Amino acid sequence: MAVPTLVPSARVPRSPDAPRASSSGSLALVASLLGFAVITIDVTAVNIALPDIRATLHGGMAGLQWVVDAYTLMFAALMLSAGALADRAGARRAYALGVGVFTAASLACALAPGIGALIAARVAQGAGAAIVMPASLSLIRQAYDDPRRRARAIALWTVGGSVSVAVGPVLGGVLTEAAGWRSVFLLNLPVGALILVLLARVARSPRRPAAVDLGGQVTAVLALAGLAFAVIEGGHMGWTSAPVVAGFGVAVVCAVAFHRVEKRHPAPMVPLSLLRQRQVGVALAVGFAVNAGFYGVTFLLGLYYQQLRGMSGVAAGLMFVPLAAIITGTNLVSPRAAERFGRRTVIVLGQAVLALAMFALVPLDADTPLWLVLVLLVPTGLGGAFAVPALTAQLLDSVPGERAGTASGMLNSLRQTGGAMSVALFGALIAGGGDGGVGGGFSLSGMHGGLVVAGLVLCATTALAAWMLPRD
């Protein structure tokens, strides 16, 4: 696997070789789509399964937060260096490794006897997903040399992710209602096996030299874990309790250590020179805020529908379908709007709409008509989906070509971190709100407070983008 990508033409006549290459490309695309789908579905499907997990494993709100964040934090932190792994090992081998780890961890999740074992398995799942994400794109890049065919393949990959967001909650609800929450994880096993079978027929990938920044990776994981621990447990133990203060301390010390390691490393996974570029810093801040708002809302609503409104898992999952449809459609419109009105305008407008969506959801209570909840979710889908494609293009155009992969990894990592931190904060708030919690420990005042925080953060990054991004 270390050398050629296709069967040498010296041994195989040219005419039969072309169909095999085309077939290999199609198989690579299908394998990439399936991998991207399962790691995306796993986030949204598990959100719907949380109440059932709580009832079965008797975990509190902190445990449910860790079930979500253990996956997301490892996904975010390891994504910084997973691209280098794909280069060193080759896209096909790295993708197979990621899928294998994810699938084995899914089995461990399904068999987990307690909340601690489930959280540990979710850590391993996140590690596998972090390898799958960049390797899947590398696999597509390898399979399609023609830029136009490659663009179509990447567009299909992107739409597949959007569709997975829609399928995830419904699938999670149906599986949880029919066979329990463990079936949500068991579904990954046949899909993972199918991907590995397809990969066996995909052309081998070349290896490329790529430095591994082990010190930076370890300090990044520890910094994010310390921060998540402090935020999650702060709502339960108290913000001045010794473990929480220690968690913040670990986060600060490891963040400082990360900065020093990256400064001295000859090939850092996060080049500090990029962070000093104004457009890069703004893009990372915006990506963090957008995901914090969107994933915070989906986490809250998954619990709101079931714990406060008493809806079944299937019904709760169906409530997310209109939102996902809006996201898919808006993703397709956003690039055209950016061409016509400029990326800066689209990025600012998208954030502003998402910020307004956060504030519009604040009045929700147990008696809000469901049709009104769906109407209020429309700007949530529009805002983030409108801003992100233009934001990504703006970031990639602001860095040299050889830094594009690194910059993209940084953006995706910060976006995942934003989602993880919002789940940590929102979970702490809804578990410890001033009204004492209703609907099985769900605090309405905590939910309202989380939405206000998300809205204010988005207002700040909207102003930052309007002030610091160049006009185009």
DSSP code string of 78-116: HHHHHHHHHHHH-HHHHHHHHHHHHHHHHHHHHT-SSHH
**What's the CA gap between 292 and 455, in Å, rounded?**
10
User: What sign results for the dihedral spanned by CA atoms 453, 328, 76, 120?
Assistant: positive
Q: Which residue has the tokens 């590690």?
A: 127
Do 186 and 227 fall into the same domain?
no
**What's the CA gap between 427 and 54, in Å, rounded?**
14
User: What sign results for the dihedral spanned by CA atoms 257, 263, 269, 270?
Assistant: positive
Do 261 and 349 fall into the same domain?
no
Do the domain assignments include residue 3? no
Do the domain assignments include residue 7? no
Do 190 and 220 fall into the same domain?
no
Helices 188-199, 91-110: crossing angle, 10 deg rounding = 160
- 420, 126 contact by CB (below 8 A): no
- Beta-strand ranges (E) seen in 334-421 are none
| Residue finishing a domain among 158, 186, 205 | 205
CB neighbour class for 396 (10 Å; exposed up to 12, middle 13-18, buried from 19): middle
Do the domain assignments include residue 163? yes
Do 28 and 89 fall into the same domain?
yes
Residue 14 tokens read as: 């040219």
DSSP 203: P
Do the domain assignments include residue 465? yes
Domain, as residue range, for 451: 272-472
Q: Where do the H-state alpha helices sit in 369-469? A: 370-397, 404-431, 444-468
DSSP code string of 104-163: HHHHHHHT-SSHHHHHHHHHHHHHHHHHHHHHHHHHHHHH--SHHHHHHHHHHHHHHHHH
Do 182 and 290 fall into the same domain?
no
If we measure between CA atoms, which residue out of 413, 411, 426 comes closest to residue 457?
426
Do 339 and 461 fall into the same domain?
yes
Do 178 and 237 fall into the same domain?
no
Q: Which residue has the tokens 């959280």?
A: 119
Do the domain assignments include residue 50? yes
pLDDT 10s digit of each residue in the chain, 472 long? Answer: 333 322 223 333 333 333 344 566 788 888 888 998 899 888 888 988 888 998 899 878 888 888 988 998 888 888 777 766 766 777 788 889 999 999 999 999 999 999 999 999 999 999 999 888 888 877 877 777 776 777 677 767 777 777 787 788 888 888 998 889 999 999 999 999 999 999 888 877 666 665 677 888 889 889 988 888 888 888 778 888 899 999 999 999 999 999 999 888 887 878 888 888 888 889 899 999 999 998 888 888 888 898 888 888 888 888 888 888 888 788 778 888 888 888 899 999 999 999 999 999 999 888 899 999 999 889 998 998 888 888 877 887 777 766 666 777 788 888 888 888 888 888 888 876 544 444 446 788 888 988 999 999 999 999 999 998 887 7
Question: Which region holds residue 440: left if phi is over 0, alpha if psi is between -120 and 50, else beta?
Answer: left
C-alpha distances in angstroms, 75 versus 161, 165, 211, 275, 305? 16, 17, 20, 21, 27
Predicted TM-score (pTM) above 0.75: yes
Do the domain assignments include residue 4? no
Q: Which residue has the tokens 């399936």?
A: 34
Number of domains, the chain: 3
| Residue finishing a domain among 268, 284, 300 | 268
| Residue finishing a domain among 205, 223, 243 | 205
User: The domain that contains 86 carries what CATH number?
Assistant: 1.20.1250.20
Do 71 and 88 fall into the same domain?
yes
Do 385 and 416 fall into the same domain?
yes
Do 285 and 237 fall into the same domain?
no
Do the domain assignments include residue 458? yes
